[in-house]
Structure 1
Amino acid sequence: MFQKVLIANRGEIALRVLRACKELGIQTVVVHSTADSDAMHVRLADESVCIGPPPSRESYLNIHQIVAACEITGADAVHPGYGFLSENAKFADILAAHNITFIGPSGDHIRIMGDKIEAKRTAKRLGIPVVPGSDGAISDEKEAKRVAAGIGYPVIIKASAGGGGRGMKVARSEADLEVALQTARSEAGAAFGDDAVYIEKFLEKPRHIELQVFGDGAGRGVHFGERDCSLQRRHQKVWEEANSPALNSEERARIGGICAKAIADLGYSGAGTIEFLYENGEFYFIEMNTRLQVEHPVTEAITGIDLVHEQIRVASGGGLSVRQEDIKFNGHAIECRINAEDPRTFTPSPGTITHFHTPGGLGVRVDSGVYSGYRIPPYYDSLIGKLIVHGRNRVECMMRLRRALDEFVVDGIKTTLPLFRDLVGNPDIANGDYDIHWLEKYLAEDD
């Protein structure tokens, strides 16, 4: 087991990893920018190192400074959390060159899955069902028209190097294709420095289903069930559930088995999430995230397994602590992402939290690094906390979520709590009857 882990992140995920390390008896080091000197994870860590001014590129994305912090403090491993450097193959390679363990997969696996085209090829080779589309990047409009005609409209054009909805455009006819192709390329080049795009069949009313997987790097792989992340705004997840209201146990076992075998065959090490669009009983691979997900707590709630403990165990050479037959699914869990944003316009709302009270009781968990009097800096993601609720079934979970949302108090800034209070009372949400377009339609109707 590691002696000292440096946590290369901030906010609630840094605090989440810190807690796991302390439970395992591992010393902790956190890095922080000058804007985060009063953050909760900085207060609670065994050691802290300031690595630069507020802009991420000068602090949390500054590989040189983070490696220097490891050497100064004697950290023998780095947990990257999510975001920032968590899927940066170069960072993983540099740490390895300095004999520091990256708590995550190899740089090669990060590279493969970070390129959407190569990831799709790899998924197909491993037996994972994929969305019909181009085999690689589209070279010109003529090829785009040929591919689109072959799979049928509507189609979606996606950036090879990116995510989060940037470089992503839908063409419903050949007449739309030229503009969509040009726009997607332009956005991809501006956002990711790479204008390569590819084409896939556009599914009209799919759900977003993702499988939590783990590999030990030596040919073993398991899955921890699925999460339904279909409630999204601008391709950003808002509300996540485990298990999905749309799947039955047979479908869960089928796609879970496929993904676990693929991870084993790949020789993958650590946590990963294989994401699908799901429509009419069929799964279509869209990407794999080679890191811990924001929504991992709902999986922990229904399995009783600490996924960060598992990450650290695997990275230290201890292997997986469970076999597939050991993993049981118990009840239902929902996570709401609480952002410092206007609940209608979603404009960021940084500022000072004057009062912060979290809900409690059986089956209620809040992951957050903020507190009363904390000033939210304007430089980073607006996520300030996650409310995770677990119940014996989905009905109990929804009732518990309604109660927990009523107890949650954040004063001094605007948050998305009012949105979730509306959603929990909506009949479609209560019935689990929604797809990836539902939330944006709901918000448009509400304007």
Structure 2
Amino acid sequence: MNTRFTTLIFALFLLGNISYSQKKNSFNIKKQFEYCAAQASKTLAVIPDDGTSPRTVPNGSKEWKFVDYKDWTSGFWPGELWYLYEATGDKKWEKEADKFSQFLKPLSVSKANDHDLGFQIFNSFGNGYRLTKNPAYKDIILKSADTLATLFNPKVGTILSWPHHKYEGHNTIIDNMMNLELLFWASKSGGNKKLYDIAVKHAETTMNNHFRPDYSSYHVVIYDYETGKKIKGMTAQGYSDDSMWARGQAWSIYGFTMVYRETKDSKFLDFAHKVARVYLDRLTTEDLIPYWDFNAPGIPNEPRDASAAAIVSSALIELSSYTKDTKLKNEYLTKSKKMIVSLSDHYQSHNVNSAFLLHSTGHKPAGSEIDCSINYADYYYLEALLRLQKLKN
């Protein structure tokens, strides 16, 4: 080959890599925190003073829909405020986070309505206690963990997810993996040690029954109340009983990574790798933001789900920290960063509304919250940014 031509090709290769490296390193996390703080300030200005918090902004609207403390998403808004306090150190956010967390206090002394106490209490008071060590927060967390444990069915080995759903047996949804963190924390922080055993048993039972041979997750599994035998796997919010619902798989990646952190049991780490693998291998979008369901029939004209991407981006950063295989570790970090950059560059709400992100999908089969802004997408996006910042530091 001509020497000058070879030199030119090599120079272009170097230039391309330098350009890519500069673009990759130009991502400004501080700028994203400033954006989130500005958006949250706008939201604070429109929240009614009635104990409610913002849940979603419908597609085509600028107005938030607000929910009370009983809504399953009620912990995400105060959680966002705690994360903003962590990101900025501004006492304004601590004050607001405490205010909106306090609205959820009745949950700690009420009968368990469903499995979502972890989302509600640990995202709010849990983050608050982590950042302030306020003993009053700890008391609320411990009481809530005991309340959640009342839904555990020892014959089945899982926590009942939806007591109000009249399925033909004990139902458990994959989202429930996220709420085990509340139990783990309580068991190690002065609560009943049995809470740890309940969380481990739930994770083991879910691992054995909630997944297809390719490690894609069912949304819902129904068990016999008395024998504990699995009756069937099905969906509620996915496309079909046999499809891979994007957010459900995201919950499983995050959930099993967290369970490994809390137990240090290698079987959970191995499983986290497996459920992450099927998600990443089937992710075909260039920006790594998935369609709401990987098997939705109208792809590429189906809605995306930014919330799933936010959850997975955060989970992969943590999973990478437990990964010894250098190639796999780098894949997790590279793809996680690309997800975060994609969300920041192309999914932010800016002048559309005062949420952080657009294009999340809540419950498409029910025609609910399709291609809109949702508070849990914002929560995990902010968490991913914080984890990325700690990684860089």
TM-score when normalising by structure 1 = 0.25
The structure with the largest strand share of the pair is 1
TM-score by length of 2: 0.28
More helix by share: 2
